[in-house]
A = this chain, B = another copy of it.
């Protein structure tokens, strides 16, 4: 079995509420050294929707020395901003851009979504970022094909949904197109179901576990490591969505990944200690040495 594309939606380190490029680079390089192939800055885990256009550009700049490993998330509620970033991505020659559809607003027409992706991907090859639970829009295979027919250069999709049927449909019905799973829980399934890769927020801290999943994708140990990763992802949510990842990175890799930015509130010391304790229990339960 060929190795699938592995993608890390890296957290954005903030210092005094500003993007901290140095910390971003140190963390990003660690993740790549750990075996992941692409960094995906300004995604959901990277707090992308909370960032100004210029801040996303800071991240592009931070990783200018390793463009082949970068997929910048440029989707936003202002298409001009998104297009600007796609043009910059072209200058920087990164692997591709990715784009959330519009979010927050309800009632967007299907044709507007098609236009949005067609315009944007005409600037630079684009990976659709489908996350129906947060955006309210499900980008289904027929829409992808309509974007392609309209001339859009969409090259893949990140499917952040537990609905495996939607994922398999897109894999089946869209030609020459990479289909990546989004939930941390679906890494093993991406291998077993013949998909093209996976995006995993948990890879910010858990790339060693992911390597074990990959090595053992065809035996029971694969399940064991996948379920360990799932439990860490559950802990992350329990202690504070996204915020906890900054601590988990430091706990598992020793790297200082800075802070989140409010309204994502930093974990208190008590919370962090309790989180670390529960992480260690999970490691023991699944017989994993971090």
Contact = CB atoms under 8 A, between A and B. Distances in A.
Interface of A: 17, 44, 47, 49-53, 76-80, 102-109, 112-113, 115-116, 119, 133-136, 162-166, 168-169, 172, 183, 185-186, 189, 192-194, 223, 227, 230, 237, 240-242, 261-265
B165 A186 contact: yes
Among A109, A183, A223, max chain B CB count under 10 A is at A109
A109 to B, nearest CB: 6
Contact of A77 (B50, B79, B106): B50
A64 B202 CA distance: 47
Contacts of A105: 44, 49, 134, 241-242, 264
Given A50-B77, A77-B263, A112-B240, 10 more contacts: A44-B104, A106-B133, A107-B237, A108-B263, A109-B240, A116-B262, A162-B165, A163-B163, A172-B223, A193-B193
Contacts of A134: 104-106, 136
Contacts of A112: 240, 263-265
A189 B164 contact: yes
Copies in the complex: 4
Contacts of A103: 103-104
A43 to B, nearest CB: 12
Given A104-B104, A186-B164, A80 B261 contact: yes
A118 to B, nearest CB: 11
Contact of A185 (B44, B135, B168, B261): B168
A251 B230 CA distance: 45
12 contacts: A17-B80, A50-B78, A52-B52, A78-B262, A103-B104, A108-B263, A109-B240, A119-B262, A162-B166, A163-B164, A165-B185, A168-B185
A194 B106 CA distance: 29
Contacts of A116: 262-263
